[in-house]
Structure 1
């Protein structure tokens, strides 16, 4: 159970270690040897009144961020934070309160506030805590001692060197907006009157940089990013190369004539598109009628080449986790199999409303109540490389960025129209750069027109495991 994932969206590729560890039901998640937070959470749970359900989440984290510009440290921040979220349920009434301190008197007040909030809540027969369901958690160890041992001068030097290398990477790079080193460590504990009790911990670090390139009056930006559990696992070379390439590739780009063509979507953008699709498959969206797929379970909603799962048990992902936000052991949930919609994602409350069980898909922070959500979205890769996919496209558009993707997609109807930049594909090869165009259509049509999924799976800083997508008959709006 995480307070958050390392890194930032987008960026470079993560190596794909051979073999995927199976979902082992005979192993438990790696717990935090420092059980002080768990003891505190359990102590609060023991104060539950008769007939009262009580859940406590407690977290502490420390984070360091170095921002470099012009070879100098622009800012250096280091902070430690604590928090506790308390949920009280009585007679179907749910109350929640949060505190930013673990002081005993503050926690006393927070418990009292949660009880007061429950007293004024509207009764809901489906509200309640989840109970253990017999699934044993996988082993996940996100803690790396070397992340905490790294000295502050070394963090600064890493960011300074990153900026310097990007500036020197291509004569067209005019400046670097900012180069950032970030690292953190967190501990989280959860306990409840339903018998759940767990404590986890994790470290993370990331490097990111944004470059500005130009030719004449034309300028473009590009970013590179990598995230890992330990400093030694970060690939500085790949971050530099990605930022320089993305900043220079689209220089000279112009709009093209409006037309229908084949869209080739690289993995990081595929994660955005399919992430929006997966977001419409959560219990909240389905039960509230805010999903175009609400009544389509068992139907073919996509091309048979698409197999999409939410799998926080996949240890290749930085987002892998042993437990969800309500304390249930995570599991692999199949969303789309051979194009057929197989299921939705539920937490405890939405599962009860739907007349089914939780899929262990609760996500949350210490400041919020749990809700169903995507944890680690993974697409099953195809058989051919990105170059092989490209070679089969006679006329197409290789997307390099979407502008306003989330605001440009209607999750209820599925319709979308978003700005885009990229390269034309002509005769199976990349051609001229293109900017100031729009891509329009609907999620439903896009899924059905999906021609192929690439073999080039990337494990992104967001945790998603994605590959390139080839989508036929897409509307490109230009001049």
Structure 2
């Protein structure tokens, strides 16, 4: 565990020695143990402890210098402060970062759990058993080429020269299984699933196995799809992937950098179907990676981004909030430049839809389970995407795996074309989201 009081003392003593009057420090420490297996044998077993600290120092002219270190003893902190102080002479002179006005604001208590780490052999045994069960589920499943079971305990802290001090720790376990199935005369088929929990003891390994098995077997009987426009249903995972790929829409720093589909005047404008509500909620009870404060010490909170189709909020750091004449929202990541990032999305609807839809009753619908190649197939500044996907063509509940196809469109058009948001939501590592129905999108198949 980090000794936060010792870190604070090191920083105060070093700053006094160096004549530094204004500084802040944000850091994290990760203890991780993880395993991978291959055909019943350990493939990779690893354990690590990683620390990362960002130090900022302001000089007498108000410029800020930034450096990083992994050395948390007195000498390491003093060297980092000295280096940042020297770098401050080259700091920016416009829109200089400042302390968050909420760095010492009270934080509402959150239920954040830490549990003792499991023995590494317990991780190995559990993952080998999961691999064997998955391969035994069907003769066509020939292997689980990508898999992993890990436990992590993460601590992070923030302190500054004005007396702010934040610290918290949490732990979680996760499992990932990605199968490979082969049949004579057919292409190999694959499917993956991930589960996350507070500890190995309550990790839903059985649920992960059931889901990846069901997906794998459903892809064995595949057929090509004719190119054209189809009604599309995005799975929760797929829709959140798309949301994340175009998050510049509500990122205040991206807007100020003119790297966004939005502008400062976009607030209050309708950008989506009135069925859509979207929030970023670091404190959501289903967010196992919940943080109570960001890199500037600002308390996190639930931020409404889209309400009934209207863009109503943005994600802010202290710097962007000042330029927008509002309050920071707890989304800052400090580094050489302060950036803004989302925590945990929550997609839902408050409106009664004009019509409800069901895969059991609708014909010729493409269900997209997972989007691929998001790093290459998304143009975040134009709003366009063209992405391969895993999914099925569904006719009145009967689904047939799609051989190979891409989905293409414009993200803002997708948001405005939402015709139904299912009432039942699913918890994923990125957020809570139901399946989302879109009127139609272009599918390129054979």
Same fold (TM over 0.5): yes
- Give runs of aligned pairs for residues 452-463 of structure 1, distance below 5 A: 452-462=420-430
CA pair 319-63 structure 1, distance change in 2 beyond 3 A: closer
**What secondary structure does 1:469 align onto?**
strand
The structure 2 residue matched to 1:403, chosen from 372, 380, 386, is 372
Q: Deviation of residue 42 (structure 1)?
A: 5.0
Counterpart in 2 of 1:359?
329
CA pair 312-42 structure 1, distance change in 2 beyond 3 A: farther
Matched pairs, number: 438
Deviations 1:151-197 (A, max 9, x none): 22212111111111111122221111143221111222210124421
Counterpart in 2 of 1:374?
342
Mapped to 2, the partners of 1:277 and 1:97 lie a distance apart of: 30
Q: Tell me whether 1:259 sits opposite 2:228 in the alignment.
A: yes
Q: Tell me whether 1:339 sits opposite 2:306 in the alignment.
A: no
Deviations 1:364-402 (A, max 9, x none): 5xx665421111111125789xx9532353332001222
Mapped to 1, the partners of 2:324 and 2:40 lie a distance apart of: 56
Structure 1 runs not aligned, ≥5 long? 1-33
Asked if the contact 1:41–1:58 (Cα under 8 Å) also holds between the matched residues in 2, the reply is no
**What secondary structure does 2:300 align onto?**
coil
Q: What TM-score do the two structures reach when normalised by structure 1?
A: 0.86
Q: Deviation of residue 45 (structure 1)?
A: 4.4
Counterpart in 2 of 1:101?
71
CA pair 134-186 structure 1, distance change in 2 beyond 3 A: closer
Asked if the contact 2:241–2:371 (Cα under 8 Å) also holds between the matched residues in 1, the reply is no
Counterpart in 2 of 1:310?
280
Counterpart in 1 of 2:405?
437
Mapped to 2, the partners of 1:250 and 1:35 lie a distance apart of: 47
Mapped to 1, the partners of 2:337 and 2:129 lie a distance apart of: 41
CA pair 315-369 structure 1, distance change in 2 beyond 3 A: farther
Counterpart in 1 of 2:137?
169
CA pair 444-83 structure 1, distance change in 2 beyond 3 A: closer
Q: What TM-score do the two structures reach when normalised by structure 2?
A: 0.92
Asked if the contact 1:130–1:326 (Cα under 8 Å) also holds between the matched residues in 2, the reply is yes
Say which is worse superposed, 187-196 or 229-238, in terms of deviation. 187-196
Q: What is the Cα-based RMSD across aligned positions, in Å?
A: 2.3
Counterpart in 1 of 2:172?
204
Say which is worse superposed, 243-252 or 193-202, in terms of deviation. 243-252
Q: Tell me whether 1:144 sits opposite 2:111 in the alignment.
A: no
Say which is worse superposed, 159-168 or 121-130, in terms of deviation. 121-130
Asked if the contact 1:169–1:241 (Cα under 8 Å) also holds between the matched residues in 2, the reply is no
CA pair 35-439 structure 1, distance change in 2 beyond 3 A: closer
Asked if the contact 1:381–1:457 (Cα under 8 Å) also holds between the matched residues in 2, the reply is no
Counterpart in 2 of 1:300?
270
Counterpart in 2 of 1:241?
210
Counterpart in 1 of 2:99?
129
Asked if the contact 1:96–1:114 (Cα under 8 Å) also holds between the matched residues in 2, the reply is yes
Higher relative contact order (CA 8 A, sep 6+): 1
Mapped to 2, the partners of 1:455 and 1:53 lie a distance apart of: 50
Counterpart in 2 of 1:422?
391
